[in-house]
Chains A and B, each alone.
Chain A
């Protein structure tokens, strides 16, 4: 389970990508819960996350995530330097 700090930073990235300061992230959220989260903004989101956290996600990482919580877990693991 990702820590609060990661979730907060991730929330900042979401707010920039979706241009909506009201977004509050919860671990179980999916694309259906965020207005405008379509395939195109998904790619922008991944690029923005890689930029913000200075990590590189693999295709497998991206496919594996089913919700925001799993996404945050992958980010945390990658940030800590493990594969």
Chain B
């Protein structure tokens, strides 16, 4: 049951009605029942795993808070090992008996919950039902955002004040998210797939076009998913974290990671990068390099066990280390060179985008051989005819207009908001009539 399916809409509408018709004090229970039902639709093994991880985290959380201070770290370690094992069992052991369904995302929530109790930033949750809901809440179950207990748990408790403005915002976010996914991302996929699925024979320009299409597809697919998740969350009165902030306008690679999959990178920063840096701080710059390389190799391998993901992570580790260690000197050099600020800004954006795109080659290519082909044929001619072979002129128009609309969305807003109903009606109709009707899953579902 993906977000872009009739079943999901029937399910969400039913859940919404049941939720608001129920007395306020039972609403969390309705939401929990719906979330587990949603998970059951993904498979009973996935549900059993979710329940097992949830129960273990609940009990471990209580015992971290309850035991003597000297024992707390041992209990926390047990929780970390259990969570990592659950994740590794599903993703790396390919016996096929455990279905994934969001485990990568809720395991991170379980880890941050336990660590925060250990750090005495939050108390352990005593109410089992609300804790189960914190991990299972269905809009964010499959692909995040990765929520923090201090943000989501209080909302699980308070669930249920009907606010018309928030409902409208929720519906608008759902429409926007589906528009990004079905009208643009799934359409761009045709172009990216035409290049990457059979990479041999393509020349440099064609390869670059494929890569640009893929970067945009990945961004719109995942940020579209997040919009839908946040929108559905609002329909139940729950605010989920924002995951993207115009990542392709980043001016450095660390800046990119502060704008891309933010709930995940904030997690890595708080629970991996910072402790490593803190532990090794006497080493100075070496600590930065060790912390960045470890964090981004984990980030790469989180996506899957393959050389491509490992290289993707390691490349970003190198990018981030070099960027952090040289930023001050580069700033000083540029300020002395008297280059116009706007030129520096755009040059930085273009360079950052291409560094990120180069790493995405390893993310997208089916094999290292394909990635090697990509880089060795980048200067070998090619042409843009693949665009016209993939899209009809009408489809090109739809894509161009949609991308322009999204790109200039912020500056167009005052004009659009003069006729909001018309704007959202057009967007909703675009989703229905111009959306790609394949059952293409959201790209991050497989992680």
Contact = CB atoms under 8 A, between A and B. Distances in A.
- The answer to whether A binds B is yes
Interface string B5-35: 0000000000000000000000000000000
A39 B275 contact: no
Contacts of A46: 278, 281
Interface in B235-280: 254, 269-271, 273-275, 277-279
Interface string A60-83: 101110100000000000000000
Interface in B271-314: 271, 273-275, 277-279, 281, 284, 287-288, 291-292
Given A63-B119, A63-B270, A64-B120, A39 B281 contact: no
Given A64-B119, A64-B121, A39 B277 contact: yes
B378 interface: no
A43 B270 contact: no
A1 to B, nearest CB: 17
A39 B275 CA distance: 11
Interface size band for B: 20 to 34
B281 A63 contact: no
A42 B288 CA distance: 11
B93 to A, nearest CB: 31
A38 B120 CA distance: 25
B324 interface: yes
Contacts, number: 46
Contacts of A66: 121
A47 interface: yes
Nearest to B288: A40
B288 A59 contact: no
Most buried by A among B277, B278, B284: B278
B325 interface: yes
A61 to B, nearest CB: 9
Interface string B325-352: 1010000000000000000000000000
Nearest to B119: A64
A63 B272 CA distance: 10
4 closest A-B pairs by CB: A62-B278, A59-B278, A40-B324, A64-B119
Given A39-B324, A62-B274, A64-B120, 7 more contacts: A43-B277, A43-B288, A46-B281, A47-B281, A59-B278, A63-B115, A63-B275
17 contacts: A38-B324, A39-B269, A39-B273, A39-B274, A39-B324, A40-B288, A43-B277, A43-B278, A43-B281, A43-B287, A46-B278, A59-B275, A59-B278, A63-B270, A63-B271, A63-B274, A64-B119
Interface of A: 38-40, 42-43, 46-47, 57, 59-60, 62-64, 66
